[in-house]
Chains A and B, each alone.
Chain A
Amino acid sequence: MTVSDQRAREAFVALSSTLVDDFDIIDFLDRLVDCCVEVLGVTAAGLLLVDHRGTLNMVAASTEQAMIAELFQLQNHEGPCLDAYHGGEAVLCADLAGASDRWPNFVRAAAGAGFAAVHALPMRLRGTVIGGLNLFSARQGALDPATVEVGQALANVATVAILRQRSARHGDVVVEELQAALDSRILVEQAKGVLAERLNTTVEKSFDLLRRYAHASSVPLAELAAAVVDGSADVALIAATDVRPA
């Protein structure tokens, strides 16, 4: 597996162009994990952030499958992302089947979800690790070093984006930014639920609608989510984005 220079370049240009002015952190991180799948040639990708309890929380995933969420959750006990978080180094596992001694539960769940290889890249900030980027592949085999490098660069971009949410008023304190990113995710999840019920559709579909409408109307995703939850957003209008080409 190797990453194409051209695609990597395009991906970074696209990402950096959204990293200006009033960007929405959840929208940005979701684009970033989609970009990982496309550019790095992996099957699925997700970002985990560590909260004040030391718990790894999923803040973005390239797929809405419950199984993926479970794989992230499991890593609060064992798994590559937990190891990458504690060690501060990338954890590369080209063949999950050979790692059952190391992570028995994670390997079983990953195999059940159809994954054969996993790579976990730490999100580093100065001396600390604030989370990790998880890359899952359906086929076994190591990502080549150049691809891992691009993956790590994407993880670094995610770190910068999260910390850029607020200006550096408080110096070393990142608690506000982490809390804001985690909370933004929760707000979006609530909005997905409200919209799914209003439109009688799935949460996956309603997330798609929310993102499309946010882009089309240039409203930050979190702001739109808040309006959906408090009932002030026009749900019919959001549903109508469905019929327009993306």
Chain B
Amino acid sequence: MPVAVGHVCAACAASVGARGVGLTLARGRGRDEPVCSVGPGTDELEEMQFTLGEGPAADAAARRSPVLVADLAGPESGHRWPMFARAAARHGVRAMISVPLRAGAIEVGVLSAYLTERGVLSDDRVADVLVYADAAMLLVLSAADGIATGQRTSTGNGFDERRAEVHQAAGMISVQLGVGVEEALVRLRAHAYAQDRRLVDVARDVVERRLRFSRDATVDTNSDIPSPGKEEDR
């Protein structure tokens, strides 16, 4: 896993004032893998949740939704996660924010912030963790296709990964290549990156059938429009 994901975890911890932050990647059924943790005891707490299938991070993965726990020492948490709640108490962790890294059918993993004080989790804190989860997800997708991270951080046009066209295109490419939508999104992003074009523009070309992906790793286009190689002339 690239160093950059570690930076995201560290930055997240500093930003929300968390004792620790951990990222566990979904590697398919029962093969979740903690890939990054900062802060004392975080690796143990991450590992334990996915081994036992118990805890806010495990629930966030299973429910595909953020899990916010204001008091891990409370009776509700103790009942819901008996083993994990005890372990958290041992490490002085009193509250948690766990956020799945996902987009539709794509499920990359879970980012969790471990907090030492219990109490109401402010909207700002939760929003910060969500933003770091977005960043972590993009880094993981980029790493999957060897896109150098940090070179293309912002397009100034919002978050392309939320655009409808991008996900429509990923769906189409998944059929063209016979792969899942996650891999399709990785390939779409890699193509945009290689052509130095905006993701949403490339996605629109796919949706409007000016651009096709084919299984032998090249990209075909319809005969009446320029090939990707010629696009550089524009």
Contacts and interface: CB of A to CB of B under 8 A. Distances in A.
A229 B181 contact: yes
A113 interface: no
A55 B158 contact: yes
B134 to A, nearest CB: 7
Best-buried of B68, B103, B157, B168 by chain A (most CB within 10 Å): B168
A176 to B, nearest CB: 5
Contact of B105 (A66, A69, A195, A226): A226
A180 B162 contact: no
Given A55-B158, A187-B105, A73 B169 contact: no
Contacts of B162: 51, 55, 57, 182, 186
B165 interface: yes
Contacts of B181: 190, 194, 229
B65 A189 contact: no
Interface stretch (B78-86, B109-117, B172-180, B189-197): B172-180
Chain A contact-residue range equals 35 or more
Interface string A173-199: 101100110110111111111111110
Contacts of B169: 193
B163 interface: yes
Interface in B24-48: none
Contact of A185 (B102, B106, B164): B164
Given A73-B157, A182-B162, A189 B130 contact: no
Contact of A190 (B65, B126, B171): B171
A14 B106 CA distance: 34
Contacts of A179: 65-66, 130
A230 B106 CA distance: 10
A203 interface: yes
A55 B121 CA distance: 21
Interface in B93-133: 102-106, 121, 123, 126-127, 130-131
How many B residues are at the interface, by size bracket?
35 or more
Contact of A69 (B126, B164, B171): B164
B202 interface: no
B167 interface: yes
A176 B167 contact: no
Nearest to B103: A186
A53 B171 contact: no
A195 B126 CA distance: 35
Contacts of B103: 183, 186
B204 interface: yes
Contact of B167 (A66, A170, A186): A186
Determine chain A's interface SS by DSSP, over half rule: helix
A58 interface: yes
Interface string A19-62: 00000000000000000000000000000000111010110000
B72 interface: no
B104 A186 contact: yes
Contacts of B158: 55, 73, 76
B118 to A, nearest CB: 15
A194 B134 contact: no
Contacts of B163: 69, 73
Contacts of A66: 165, 204
B105 A58 contact: no
Contacts of A230: 105
A196 B168 contact: yes
A185 B102 CA distance: 12
Contacts of A183: 64, 102-104
A191 B170 CA distance: 9
A198 B168 contact: no
11 contacts: A58-B164, A73-B163, A176-B66, A186-B162, A190-B170, A193-B170, A193-B173, A197-B172, A203-B168, A226-B105, A230-B105
Interface of A: 51-53, 55, 57-58, 66, 69, 73, 76, 170, 173, 175-176, 179-180, 182-183, 185-198, 203, 225-226, 229-230
Given A52-B127, A186-B103, A190-B174, 15 more contacts: A53-B130, A173-B121, A173-B123, A175-B130, A176-B65, A185-B164, A187-B104, A189-B104, A193-B167, A193-B169, A194-B175, A194-B181, A197-B175, A226-B105, A230-B105
Q: Which 5 A-B residue pairings sit nearest by Cβ, starting from the closest?
A: A193-B171, A187-B104, A186-B104, A189-B167, A197-B175
